[in-house]
Amino acid sequence: MGFVLAAAGSAVGLGNVWRFPYVTGENGGGAFLLIYLGIVFTIGVSVLVAELIIGRSTQLDPAGAFRKLAGGAWPLAGYMSIFTAFIILSFYCVIAGWTLAYTVKSLTGSVLNPDTEQAGSLFNAFITDPFEPVLYTALFLSITVFVALGGIANGIERAARVLMPALFAILLVLAARSITLDGAAEGITFFLEPDFSKVTWATFLAALGQAFFSLSLGMGAMITYGSYMNRHDDIAGSALTVTLLDALVAFLAGLVILPAVFAFGATPSAGPGLTFITLPSIFAQMPFGHVFSALFFALLAIAALTSSVALLEVVIAYFVDENGANRKKVATIAGAAVFVLAVPASLSLGVMSGFTIGGNVLFDAMDYVTNNITLPLGGLLVALLLGWVLRHKGEEEFLDGSTLAPALLGAWRFVIRYAAPVAITLILINGVGIL
Ligand code: PHE
């Protein structure tokens, strides 16, 4: 139970509420949702199982785990994980900072606006400011380091047990409000009715990246969490529970944001600001909107915290397990290093927007490289390790401790050995446009 909560805490976060709705909006809606769910419940859940097996069986950080299981060049996959965790955390805490800021600004009412266009201008003014968002990023990152340092992770977990159902409940209320807005029908159709004419390889790549990001896969977080599992903890059952919860929260968030986008006449492809410009307009039209809004963004910040702690843990576990470093020292230094990269990430949305990498501002480049390249690559390597290098040992581990596993073994073996490697390779090559 404790493990499932921690893993679900890592999975459910900004990926579900901030990233999923806008990526769905950018990729045409219903068809993307379908492809996304298809990937989540085949490749996603299977790779999650594989990562938990790697962690539980070695009780080590990603690099150590790859070395122990396979040796050779495999630890490189672990190094890539640590690099990815570091980059993701650097932009994750910027967005998480926004949620903190919106908690405060909801209370004063300064961001609530029934006019989405104005809500958008307010949002833009905020994120392009050179100081304010950076301060909130620093605040969020400090809380993350504090949690990792103090080992109050237990406290967070206990709190999350109450707070996450609360977040879920608010999402339900918001979804009810959103789908009954005038003009919401068009958004519901957009979200739920697949239009395959818009599907390209890029759609598949976006869905694959989003699936890995949302389930915290392909970058060692679930290997690290798996390493804290007990020998005979149920892997298949935990993985299914976490996957279901994660998909459900994303789906609900989509049902909140997208109908409102259409009702308010905004564009679904507006990008990373979508959640932040739509929600304040919904709240502005609700009784006690200020209170609800502050509560919502506070809960979202806490959901982000249980994810950012997982990201930082990947970095900490590596230096502690591999180099015997002092946990407190590593957490502090890593936090500071993340901040050094987070500052330009935040500024790249404003004063530093002139500086681009391959046509992307730094923030977008960091998001693209991790979600669309290193995460899928990490997932591919995990699938190859379990499906081909370890084979029988992997299957023994799969069965150990789970009453559910025997019935699922055939399906898991097929996905991890054939379906996942082939699909990920095809999507990566075509989606990135390598060939
Ligand atoms: N899964 C988290 C989210 O959806 C993000 C995350 C990615 C956390 C990787 C840990 C590791 O918000």
CA Rg value for the chain: 21
The answer to whether residues 69 and 325 touch, using CB atoms and an 8 Å cutoff, is no
**pLDDT per residue as tens digits for the range 354-369:** 999 989 999 999 999 9
Ligand 1 atom with least separation from CA of 303 = 12
Query: Is the pLDDT at 2 greater than 80, yes or no?
Result: no
CA of 11 from ligand 1 middle (Å) equals 5
> What is the predicted pLDDT for the residue at 282?
92
- Each residue of 191-213: pLDDT tens digit? 999 999 989 999 999 999 999 99
Instruction: Tell me how far the alpha carbon of residue 108 lies from the centroid of ligand 1, in angstroms.
Output: 30
Instruction: Return the residue whose CA atom lies nearest to atom 11 of ligand 1.
Output: 216
Question: What distance separates the 2 farthest-apart alpha carbons in the chain?
Answer: 61
Which residue lies with its CA nearest to atom 4 of ligand 1? 15
Q: Which two tokens stand for residue 382?
A: 């995990």
Q: What is the mean pLDDT of residues 133-161?
A: 85
Task: Give CA–CA dist 161/202, Å, rounded.
Answer: 37
The pLDDT score that the predictor gives to residue 3 is: 85
Taking the centre of ligand 1 as the mean of its atom positions, its distance from the CA of residue 331, in whole angstroms, is 18
Residue whose CB lies within 8 A of the most ligand 1 atoms, among 311, 316, 318, for a mutation test:
311
Query: Residue 296 — pLDDT band, cuts 50, 70, 90?
Result: very high
Using a 6 Å cutoff on CB, does residue 90 contact ligand 1?
no
- Closest-CA residue, ligand 1 atom 7, reads 216
| pLDDT above 70 coverage of the chain, percent | 98
70 near 54, Cβ under 8 Å?
A: no
Q: What are the tens digits of pLDDT across the range 261-276?
A: 999 999 999 999 999 9
Is 223 close to ligand 1, i.e. is its CB under 6 Å away?
A: no
pLDDT given for residue 89 in this prediction:
98
Residue 149 binned pLDDT confidence (cut-offs 50, 70, 90): confident
- In this prediction, residues 116-124 reach a mean pLDDT of 94
**pLDDT for res 153:** 61
Determine if ligand 1 sits within 6 Å of the CB of residue 250: no
3-class DSSP state for residue 357?
strand
CA 12 to ligand 1 center in whole angstroms: 7
294-317 mean pLDDT: 94
Q: Given ligand 1 and candidates 16, 84, 216, which is best to mutate, with the most ligand atoms within 8 Å of its CB?
A: 216
**How confident is the model over 371-385, as pLDDT tens digits?**
999 999 999 999 999
Instruction: State the average pLDDT for the chain.
Output: 94
pTM for this prediction: 0.96
The rounded Å distance from CA 285 to ligand 1 centre is 31
Would you say residue 156 has pLDDT above 80?
no
Q: Please give the sequence-ordered ranges of beta strands (E in DSSP) within 351-416, or none if there are none.
A: 356-357, 360-361
Q: How far apart are the first and last CA of the chain?
A: 45
CATH dotted code for 2-431:
1.10.4160.10
What's the pLDDT at 5?
Answer: 87
Shortest-distance Cα residue to atom 6 of ligand 1: 216
Whether the per-residue pLDDT at 154 is higher than 90: the answer is no
What pLDDT is stored for residue 151 in this prediction? 61
Q: How far apart are CA 337 and CA 304, in angstroms?
A: 19
**Which among 19, 89, 214, 375 is the best mutation to test ligand 1's pocket, defined by most ligand atoms within 8 Å of the CB?**
214
Give me the mean pLDDT over the 387-412 stretch: 96
* 62 Cβ closer than 6 Å to some ligand 1 atom: no
Is the CB–ligand 1 distance for residue 15 below 6 Å? Answer: yes
Across 229-384, the runs of DSSP E, i.e. the strands, are 356-357, 360-361
pLDDT for residue 150 is more than 90? no
Ligand 1 binding pocket includes 8 (Cβ within 6 Å): no
Residue 155, pLDDT > 80, answer: no
Average pLDDT over residues 282-289: 91
Three-class DSSP category at 360: strand
What is the pLDDT averaged over residues 314-323? 91
Q: Is the pLDDT score of 435 beyond 80?
A: no
pLDDT at 420 over 60: yes
Predicted confidence band of residue 333 (pLDDT cuts 50, 70, 90) = very high
Ligand 1: does its nearest atom lie under 6 Å from the Cβ of 14? Answer: yes
- The reported pLDDT for the residue numbered 152 is 55
pLDDT of res. 184: 97
Of the candidate ranges 33-42, 149-158, 255-264, the one whose mean pLDDT is the lowest: 149-158
Q: Where are the domains of the chain?
A: 2-431
Residue 238 and residue 403 in contact, taking contact as beta carbons nearer than 8 Å: no
Please tell me the distance between residue 343's alpha carbon and the centre of ligand 1 in angstroms.
20
Compute the C-alpha angle 345/220/76, nearest 5°.
Answer: 90
- Give the rounded percent of residues in the chain with a pLDDT score beyond 90: 89
Going by CA atoms, what residue is nearest to atom 8 of ligand 1? 307
